Structure 1
Amino acid sequence: DIKNAKVDFLAQSLFPVYVIHSEKSFAVKIINDKEMAETEFKSLEILYKNYIPCPKPYSLTDSSEGSLLLMDFISSSNSNKENHFVESLTSLYSIKNKSWGLDFSNFIGTLPQPNSFYDNFYDYFWTSRLEPQVDMGIKTRRLNSNHKVKLEKLLTKSLTWGIGDIGPRLIHGDLWAGNAIWGDKMYLIDPSIAYGHPEQDLGMADLFGGFPLFKADEVLKNVGIDSSGWRDRVSFWQIYPLLVHVNIFGSSYVSGLENAMNKYLR
């Protein structure tokens, strides 16, 4: 009986999360931005319907505190991280799409992330990822037009690596350690999904640590992607999250961004 349930505070990153203990335990996330709540609910639905390990989303309800996202509570435990990492990401990257991107916009951290569907990788990664972030950085004077010129040049160069040839795969989009719960599986939370390149996730995971990335080659092979050379491209994939960090946290991330860019433009 949920009326007699016990409610405990669980955690807070961007928004507070509570656990409701009844016959079954549920998590409730209180999100004070309705659009963010709607896109998170929709993204979890897509993951869950595709059998990707994630909390099952049940409902989204408006309240005076914000939008209440009700979902399964996932308890963390000591687990076989290596196997669960491989299994969860193999399931995720096995989901294919004919177009790059997504048919609804979402968020990366607190920042809006515009989405649309594109016929090729370049248009997706420039129009929906790099350009909006570098323009935001130029507007706040943390970045300048030279950064934008270099990014365009680098993205054009990246096409020679064949990264657009694999076809779009469903990705988490914000894969750092705080967005995975290790239990009987590796459960994905706080998704920022799109149909993109799996190396986007792997690059971000490498940037912040916390994952058994020595198993990444196995993941890529499982989904029919040539894993050779992906480690040489890690810094390229870290450019987008570094741009996001410049825009959220400030100029202290600019040097890391420039180092990642210059690695491929020398």
Structure 2
Amino acid sequence: MSDTIVKSNADAPPRFFEAEAAGLAWLADAGGARVVRVVHVEPGSIELERIHTGRPQVRAAREFGSALAVTHDAGAAAFGAPPHGWNGPLFIGRRPLSAAHESTWGGFYARERVLPYLELAIESGGVGRGQASIVRQACEEVAAGVFDDDDPPSRIHGDLWNGNVLWSPTGVVLIDPAAHGGHRETDLAMLALFGCPYLDEIVEGYEQTHPLRPGWRERIPLHQLHPLAVHAAGYGRGYGDALADAAARVIALADATRR
């Protein structure tokens, strides 16, 4: 078996694989969580080291959590900032992901990470009009800064669902990022969305390196608005239902926060 794997697609959007390589390099430069090594990239293809996977382990989960905190702490130039030195397009999956350079998180997150995919989800039928109204109301709360804090932009993976977390015999390796400057809780919320082995142990390791702000678990639906909107745009009404439910929880949390 070859020590590398090649992903290729002649129909991929321009600079698609180059964007993946840039994101991986930026995350690797943080010196935290291990990411898959890029062997070669060119238009239409990328060659990566082959990761031999094993069973998830508690120790590896804690070590990954601690390393992920180091990655986040490496920071980014702004909320929405692309990997340093990359001036090309960004993607989440095959969908475009906008770049931004904002100093506050809430406005960036609502405008650039939720609302664009909500519109796509409405067009595809993944979100109904009534559901869309709830999501827009939640976005208004987020954009108003209800959930803004003093945490600086983190260097996040951006698409950290379980499928992009590989458990190798020597520890966790990350693949397929949508890397940009964001909020550290967004990566953790993505891990929770589709379930990740030993998530509690990952969080334990994370907090040993960087304690999370109180109430982060209650804010998980807030940080899941983006991935749920992306999935509602492409995978149907079930995700639209989940998106509307998360938005309702965000509205309720915003009300409680103001009291």
Same fold (TM over 0.5): yes
- Describe the shift of the 1:217–1:145 C-alpha distance in structure 2 as closer, same or farther (beyond 3 A): farther
Is the 1:88–1:186 contact (alpha carbons within 8 Å) kept by the matching residues of 2?
no
**Are residues 1:84 and 2:63 paired?**
yes
- Corresponding position of 1:121: 105
Is the 2:70–2:209 contact (alpha carbons within 8 Å) kept by the matching residues of 1?
no
- Corresponding position of 2:167: 182
* Larger fraction in strand: 1
CA distance in 2, matches of 1:210, 1:115: 28
- Corresponding position of 1:95: 74
The Cα offsets for residues 190-241 of structure 1, whole Å up to 9 and x where unpaired, read as 0011110111111111110023221325414523542x21111111211211
| TM-score normalised per structure 1 | 0.80
The Cα offsets for residues 17-68 of structure 1, whole Å up to 9 and x where unpaired, read as xxx2xxxx22222234143212111111212223241112121134xxxx23
CA distance in 1, matches of 2:204, 2:215: 10
Partner-residue secondary structure (3-state), 2:146: helix
Give the counterpart of 2:152 among 167, 187, 200: 167
For the aligned residue pairs, the C-alpha RMSD in angstroms reads 2.3
- Corresponding position of 2:255: none
Unmatched segments (≥5 aa) in structure 1 = 1-7, 9-19
- Corresponding position of 1:40: 20
| TM-score normalised per structure 2 | 0.82
Is the 2:153–2:181 contact (alpha carbons within 8 Å) kept by the matching residues of 1?
yes
Give the counterpart of 2:119 among 127, 135, 153: 135
**Are residues 1:31 and 2:9 paired?**
yes
Query: How many corresponding residue pairs?
Result: 238
- Corresponding position of 2:257: none
CA distance in 1, matches of 2:165, 2:140: 32
Is the 2:122–2:129 contact (alpha carbons within 8 Å) kept by the matching residues of 1?
yes
- Corresponding position of 2:198: 212
Partner-residue secondary structure (3-state), 2:219: helix
- Corresponding position of 1:60: 41
CA distance in 1, matches of 2:107, 2:42: 36
Larger Rg: 1
Letter in 1 for 2:159: D
